[in-house]
Amino acid sequence: MTTRESTPPTFSARLPGTRAAHSRMSATRRREALQGFLYISPWIIGFIIFVAGPLLASLYYSFTYYPLLTKPTWVGLQNYNTAFFKDRIFWLSSWRTLLWAITTVPLGIIGSFFAALLLNRAVRLKTVWRVFFFLPSLTPEVAAAILWLWILQPDVGVVNNTLKAWFGFRGPNWLASPSWALPSLIIISLWTGIGSIRMLIFLAGLQGVPQELYDAGMVDGVNWWQRIRHITLPLISPTLLLNLVLGIIGALQVFGLAFVTTGGGPAYATYFYGLHLYETAFRSFDMGYGSALAWFLFTIILVLTLIQISLSRRWVYYAGDAKD
Q: How far apart, in whole angstroms, are the C-alpha atoms of residue 279 and residue 287?
A: 10
| 77 touching another protein, by CB under 8 A | no
Query: Whole-number minimum distance, CB 50 to another protein, in Å?
Result: 5
| 117 touching another protein, by CB under 8 A | no
Which neighbouring-strand residues pair with 73? 65
| 162 touching another protein, by CB under 8 A | yes
In the bound state with another protein, the residue whose beta carbon lies nearer, of 13 and 302, is 302
Selected binder of another protein within 105, 116, 149, 269 (CB under 8 A): 149
Q: How far apart, in whole angstroms, are the C-alpha atoms of residue 324 and residue 322?
A: 6
- Element spanning 65, H or E: strand 64-65
| 151 touching another protein, by CB under 8 A | yes
Letters for 270-289 (x = contact with another protein by CB under 8 A, - = none) are ----x--xx--xx----x--
Q: Which one, of 201, 203, 189, 200, lies nearest residue 136 by Cα?
A: 189
In the bound state with another protein, the residue whose beta carbon lies nearer, of 159 and 222, is 159
Query: Whole-number minimum distance, CB 242 to another protein, in Å?
Result: 7
Piece of the chain touching another protein by CB under 8 A; list 49-57, 178-186, 209-217, 222-230: 49-57
Letters for 1-20 (x = contact with another protein by CB under 8 A, - = none) are --------------------
One-letter-per-residue 3-state SS of 121-153:
CCCCCHHHHHHHHHHHHHCCHHHHHHHHHHHCC
Q: How far apart, in whole angstroms, are the C-alpha atoms of residue 264 and residue 278?
A: 11
